Amino acid sequence: MSTKPPPEHAAPPPELTPSRVRFWMVCALILALALPLQLSVDAGLFPDVLNPYYLHLLTIIGMNIILVASLNLLNGYLGEFALGHAGFMAVGAYTAALLATKALPSAAALPPVLGTCIILVVTLGGAMLMAAGIGYLIGLVTFKTVGDYLAIITLGFNMIIVNAIQNLDFVGGPRGFTGIPKNTNFLAVAVCALLTLGLLRNLIQSSFGRVWVSIRENAIAAELMGVSIAKAKNWAFTIAAAFAGLAGGLWAQNQQFITPRSFDYIKTTEILVMLYLGGMASLSGSILGVVAYTLLMELLRNLLSAFAPQLAEWRMLISPLILIIIMLTRQTGLLGNREWRWLRPRQGA
């Protein structure tokens, strides 16, 4: 599987006009829609139109965007083929679950909105730190490994993490972790997803991002330009793992129940499918890939269960099929190597 899409979009970007859509404008728009939406659904307004199911879908999309965008840092920009993203997510999910149930008071004991915010900052911060630590370790261990070997090692780490959790009784072992308070909602996920996209965009469009892409393009040349490959790679792994941990922390406090099996390589594969569907080295692609995949899966679920309920699980067949079709027909994905304007840097500053 090649991580370098063919140079299909060689045309220089058009000159940018001053009145362009900016990142903060998109954030403001999304939050301006998300806040009333969340409040209306919470209050049970217009139950026919604003089905909580839609909000649930949007929440899933938000968490998946965090996962896919952060994996894009490794597989798209750095040009590695990491296969253990669900493992970092598991670390984040269990850390957040432990913090929320064992270390922190329940949200009811704290002032209403502020209390939830504090709980979220602590649990998600803990999840990110813990996952970042594990990511740093994996980066340290694999610093000389590339290509197939790195893929196998990261896959192995994913399995180790899942199996370790299965054997830890104080987090429920194979039965799963139950009774996690529901501290997140769509609004919190939206804020986190926008924050992730913003921070990743900033890093990618800085000297750090240029160094990561240069390693993908020609590691030997990058090294002889004075880049410490080990250090640059380690930063990328740490950062990607931290955001996967963030998604895990949100996941745990949204689903309220997690089992080790929900973070095995099947989840990693799902993240990969969304990443490749959207396209490598493109945050816009990550967003589009997640939205397209999630909606397609839900549509298939509804269609199949409406016509033939016994076929509903067959939709899981579709996801690997999509991956095969992308790899055969359009290796750049929907938006490989291209960015929407609001995610592009300001030129000529």
Burial (CB < 10 A; 0-12, 13-18, 19+), residue 173, is middle
Say how far apart CA 214 and CA 204 lie, in whole Å: 12
Question: Nearer Cβ to another protein, position 315 or 338?
Answer: 338
Nearest CA to 172 among 97, 281, 82, 87?
Answer: 97
Question: Nearer Cβ to another protein, position 7 or 309?
Answer: 7
Question: Nearer Cβ to another protein, position 118 or 199?
Answer: 199
Q: What distance lies between CA 117 and its chain's CA centroid?
A: 21
Answer yes or no: are the C-beta atoms of 248 and 96 closer than 8 Å. Answer: yes
Q: How far is the CB of 13 from another protein (least distance, A)?
A: 7
Say how far apart CA 3 and CA 240 lie, in whole Å: 17
DSSP for 87-99, written as a single string:
HHHHHHHHHHHHI
Nearest CA to 179 among 257, 103, 95, 96?
Answer: 257
Question: Nearer Cβ to another protein, position 163 or 228?
Answer: 228
Q: How far is the CB of 202 from another protein (least distance, A)?
A: 5
Q: How far is the CB of 15 from another protein (least distance, A)?
A: 9
Rg of the chain over Cα atoms, rounded to whole angstroms, equals: 20
Q: How far is the CB of 228 from another protein (least distance, A)?
A: 5
Question: Nearer Cβ to another protein, position 10 or 108?
Answer: 10
Say how far apart CA 285 and CA 65 lie, in whole Å: 10
Site residues (CB under 8 A) for another protein? 4, 7, 10, 12-13, 199, 202-203, 206-208, 210-211, 213-214, 217-218, 220-229, 235, 337, 349
Q: How far is the CB of 273 from another protein (least distance, A)?
A: 23
Question: Nearer Cβ to another protein, position 167 or 218?
Answer: 218
Q: How far is the CB of 242 from another protein (least distance, A)?
A: 11
